[in-house]
């Protein structure tokens, strides 16, 4: 099963400094049919105006992955961490028993991010934060694992869920294949470009919810970038 979720039909809010789309129920957007997908709970497509951002606030018991598409995000938290994550790179925060953080766009241009939340395997644990570069060129024509709680994914940022967050950049006409294990769910979004996913057309900004599929063949009809979560 592959269900296309068109960009125009997603939950939406425009706060002036933040223009956001919600693939799943979040904040003021509630759809009982879209409360998550496997352990995936949140996928927000956020555009943050220059010199603005999310002031300090708290989280617990959630794995929060930030994929920066354009611009850069500057993070600061109650553990004393501070860092800047720029376009193409990823940061991960395991909220664990509790952490407070802020996320600001201190750039002169808008910053666009995917904010992806996964429910951890178990509550608790000391909170952590990390960031890592993932050059677009290294993802050309293939999926690269950005964050993972699976054994052997040593080059990925660690998360506390048996899930993977992957990304690929594809030129027009190129394809990439991702195999799904039994009982696994996948959710993918076209960050840019038009895709064909097992015969289903996915346009820029659209999401695709996948289950009961052994493998995904993602073909780019235009130069494209795709982000995918593989989760129990």
Each residue's pLDDT tens digit, 5-14:
999 999 999 9
Average pLDDT score over the chain: 98
pLDDT given at position 184: 98
Q: What is residue 114's three-state secondary structure?
A: strand
SS (H, E, C) 21-62: EECCCECCECCCCCCCECCEEEEEEEEECCCEEEEEEEECCC
Contact 73, 105 (CB under 8 A): yes
Please report which confidence band the pLDDT of residue 123 belongs to, taking 50, 70 and 90 as the band edges. very high
Q: C-alpha distances in angstroms, 210 versus 50, 189, 217?
A: 35, 11, 12
Each residue's pLDDT tens digit, 56-95:
999 999 999 999 999 999 999 999 999 999 999 999 999 9
pLDDT given at position 2: 97
* Model-wide pTM > 0.95: yes
Q: How far is 217 from 197, CA to CA, in rounded Å?
A: 6
Q: C-alpha distances in angstroms, 115 versus 24, 40, 213, 216, 221?
A: 12, 11, 25, 23, 26
pLDDT given at position 143: 98
pLDDT given at position 33: 95
pLDDT given at position 105: 98
* Class of the CATH-defined domain 2-231: mainly beta
Please report which confidence band the pLDDT of residue 146 belongs to, taking 50, 70 and 90 as the band edges. very high
pLDDT given at position 126: 98
pLDDT given at position 1: 93
pLDDT given at position 66: 98
Q: How far is 213 from 146, CA to CA, in rounded Å?
A: 22
Each residue's pLDDT tens digit, 167-220:
999 999 999 999 999 999 999 999 999 999 999 999 999 999 999 999 999 999
- Listed by start position, the domains of the chain span 2-231
Q: What is residue 198's three-state secondary structure?
A: coil
Q: Tell me whether strands 40-48 and 18-22 are parallel, antiparallel or unpaired.
A: antiparallel
């Amino acid at each position: 099963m592959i269900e296309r979720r068109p960009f125009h039909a997603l939950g939406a809010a425009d706060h002036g400094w933040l223009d956001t789309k919600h693939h799943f129920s979040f904040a003021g957007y509630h759809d009982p049919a879209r409360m998550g997908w496997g352990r995936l709970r949140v996928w927000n497509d956020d555009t943050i105006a220059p010199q603005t951002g999310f002031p300090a606030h708290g989280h617990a018991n959630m794995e929060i992955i930030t994929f920066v598409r354009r611009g850069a995000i500057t993070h600061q938290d109650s553990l004393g961490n501070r860092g800047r994550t720029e376009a193409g790179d990823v940061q991960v925060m395991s909220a664990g028993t509790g952490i407070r953080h802020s996320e600001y766009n201190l750039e002169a241009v808008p910053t666009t991010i995917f904010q992806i939340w996964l429910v951890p395997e178990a509550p608790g644990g000391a909170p952590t934060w990390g960031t890592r570069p993932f050059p677009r060129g290294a993802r050309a024509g293939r999926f690269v694992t950005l964050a993972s709680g699976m054994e052997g994914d040593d080059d990925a940022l660690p998360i506390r869920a048996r899930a993977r967050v992957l990304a690929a950049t594809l030129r027009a006409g190129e394809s990439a294949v991702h195999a799904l294990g039994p009982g696994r769910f996948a959710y993918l979004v076209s960050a840019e470009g038009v895709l064909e996913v097992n015969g289903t057309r996915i346009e820029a900004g659209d999401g695709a919810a996948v289950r009961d599929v052994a493998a995904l063949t993602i073909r780019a009809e235009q130069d494209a970038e795709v982000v995918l979560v593989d989760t129990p």
